Amino acid sequence: MYLGLDLGTSGLRAILIDEAGAVLADAEAAFDVDHPHAGWSEQAPADWIEACKTTVAAVKAKASQAFAQLKGIGISGHMHGATLIDADDKVLRPCILWNDTRSTDEAAALDAMDGIREITGNIVFPGFTAPKLAWVAKHEPETVARVAKVLLPKDYLRLWLTGEHISDMSDSAGTAWLDVGARNWSDAALAAGGMRRDQMPELVEGAAPGGNLRETLCAEWGLSGPVIVAGGAGDNAAAACGIGALGEGSGFVSLGTSGVLMVGRDSYAPDAASAVHSFCHAVPDRWYQMGVILAATDSLNWLSRNLGQSPADLSAALPDTASGPSSLTFLPYLSGERTPHNDSRVRGAFIGLDVAMDRTDLTRAVMEGVSFALRDSLEALKGTGAQFETLFAVGGGARSRFWLTTLANTLDLPLSLPAGSELGAAMGAARLAICAVTGASPDAVMTQPETGDVIMPDKAVTAAYDDAYGHYRALYPALTRKG
């Protein structure tokens, strides 16, 4: 049996699977995010441990006999978080999370340094780990002087599970300290950020062993041991493992709070200037790239709040099939934008409002605008040589048939819908545990789910959506607040 733990921003999810991938039990536990100042986002690492205790106890209660046969644990987690610990493994301050924006100036300074983009393969975004440490060094020098190790969130959970300071390549690729092509810490990038190699955890591949469960926990959980903890992965790499998106041409589009268009790569081909993320995959000799937009279903949630009608009701008022673009254009830059603009100051807009329009027109425009933003990511990814054959569509927005057909027409790609399979980062983490314990090939374990349905682009209208996308692209310069 194998346990997958996914440490999310708002909670921890655990699933117990057998070697065939059948889910035997699952559980979730929530925790809070603190916002002590505008733009700050922090969490207490102790809350992650309590959530892990809670979910493991719940899984064990649901499937005690199966749990007793546990041989491996896989872990995934939200990326970029800075968990600072001293020489005694004590946490020095709350973890600064991925969506914290306090280190904007520090990120810009690091990004401007010669060679940093070439080493890391990415723009240094404020959410990355390195600028967070630069901010702490400037504003909390007494704290940074005591830092013995910097751990990513899932790797602090690993420390509690195993007593080891270990990370994997996929998660570490989002720190701006890793040479992403070489899959190793970069002394030059570390020095640029005022850090040392001895402050970094040991690196392993995500599908390799990354410590053993502590004997005290084995005894407490009723396990005979040994129980291997896999290297694990950052959340998007783990989700890709869960959906079988490992190699060239395989990927997914996620209509969640934010939007992600992710594709596996057999080689390393970064294009930092496009604001595409180029990271190590969780399996050896593979990488992945993704475009990220900051407001996908969050745009529909925003419209819902202002119209006083639920997102489900707004969606239900639309037909099942999108038969052509609207004359109303929505730009979904409600909180700035990541790919391809890397512009935290740009804000959204409706263009082309007419007195005859109603909430249905607004809803349609919002879904189209998010689809156009994801087309931006597609074009940026194509610029790196990425190939697309089909994409799995996941996330809450994928429940809207109208949104899916709009997206298929806009991307001019088939969208596959998984047939009720357990997906996501927790499944990917559990699959990594299988590989770490058995030595099985990731390609054999991380297969794609059965397809329940395929949404094909309507070739009669794709040209019209292409024209509308061109109009959308031309509007960004009028909205940007740069300078």
Say how far apart CA 304 and CA 409 lie, in whole Å.
25
Pair 232, 154: CB distance under 8 Å: yes
Catalytic residue, candidates 6, 47, 235, 298: 235
Check if 155 is active-site: no
Q: Is 221 helix (H, G, I), strand (E, B) or coil?
A: helix
Quote the tokens at residue 241.
């493992």
CA atoms within 13 A on the CB side of 467: 7
Q: Is the dihedral of CA 37, 38, 40, 45 positive or negative?
A: positive
- Could you tell me which residues come within 8 angstroms of residue 356 by beta carbon, excluding any fewer than 6 positions away? none
Strands 329-331, 83-85: parallel, antiparallel or unpaired by DSSP?
A: unpaired
Measured between alpha carbons, how far is 13 from 400 in angstroms, rounded to an integer? Answer: 25
Distance CA 73, CA 66 (A): 14
Quote the DSSP letter at residue 103: T
Measured distance CA(178)–CA(170) in Å, rounded: 10
* Alpha-carbon span 430 to 395, nearest angstrom: 20
Cβ atoms of residues 420 and 394 within 8 Å? no
Distance CA 425, CA 404 (A): 22
For residue 243, report the phi and psi dihedrals to the nearest 5 degrees: -110, 5
- The answer to whether 259 touches 293, Cβ cutoff 8 Å, is yes
Alpha carbon distance 208, 433 (integer Å): 8
The residues carrying an active-site annotation are 235
